[in-house]
Amino acid sequence: DAMAHPPSWEARIDHLIQLWLDAETSSINSDPTWRYIAAWLEANKPPPLPLRLTHGDPQAPNVMIDHEGNYLVVDWEFASIGDPREDLGWYNLSSTAAGPNLYEADPEAFLAAYRAVTGFSEVEVNQLTVGYFTILSAMKILGPINAQLDKFALGENSGTTTALQV
């Protein structure tokens, strides 16, 4: 249940790290890279933040501007209760693939504006924490791709979707 409230920040992050470990054990070709990434994520956890409603897919196509100039965030199908920096990581990752990536243009200015709006400190939100959550959020893409490749290798999927994802 995406909207279930995790018991703690640690439990939420541990769950997301576990997805990396699950990718190795569920794949037909065990690759230790998944485990190495999970170990790095475990060893480099940033300071915790209060869990909040996260969008799950923040990117330019999910922002609309109304006739009064108000920004409206739409498409909340991937919303969950989590660390708000999860959205920063996903934004950075997805916007690098399909811009615009406002973070990449001037990371410090972007983060200063984000901290001003959220009230988070520089210790809590900085380039290192964005990097951490960018890696953590990559499983949203890599997990399904890995699963599709397994199905393709087993002959369970011969569609063009697999080729497009890879």
| Residue 4 counted as domain residue | no
Assign residue 109 the CATH number of its domain: 3.90.1200.10
- Cβ contacts of 148 within 8 Å, gap of 6 or more: 157, 161, 162, 165, 166
- Domain range enclosing 98: 9-165
**pLDDT at residue number 88:** 95
- Cβ contacts of 105 within 8 Å, gap of 6 or more: none
| Residue 19 counted as domain residue | yes
Report how many domains make up the chain: 1
Query: What is the tens place of the pLDDT at every residue in 3-24?
Result: 789 999 999 999 999 998 988 8
| Residue 54 counted as domain residue | yes
Q: Give the confidence band of 136 by pLDDT, cuts at 50, 70, 90.
A: very high
| Residue 43 counted as domain residue | yes
| Residue 58 counted as domain residue | yes
Tokens 């794949």 identify what position?
A: 27
Query: What is the tens place of the pLDDT at every residue in 25-64?
Result: 887 877 888 899 999 999 999 999 999 999 988 888 888 9
DSSP helix/strand/coil, 122: coil
* Radius of gyration from C-alpha coordinates of the chain: 17
| Residue 34 counted as domain residue | yes
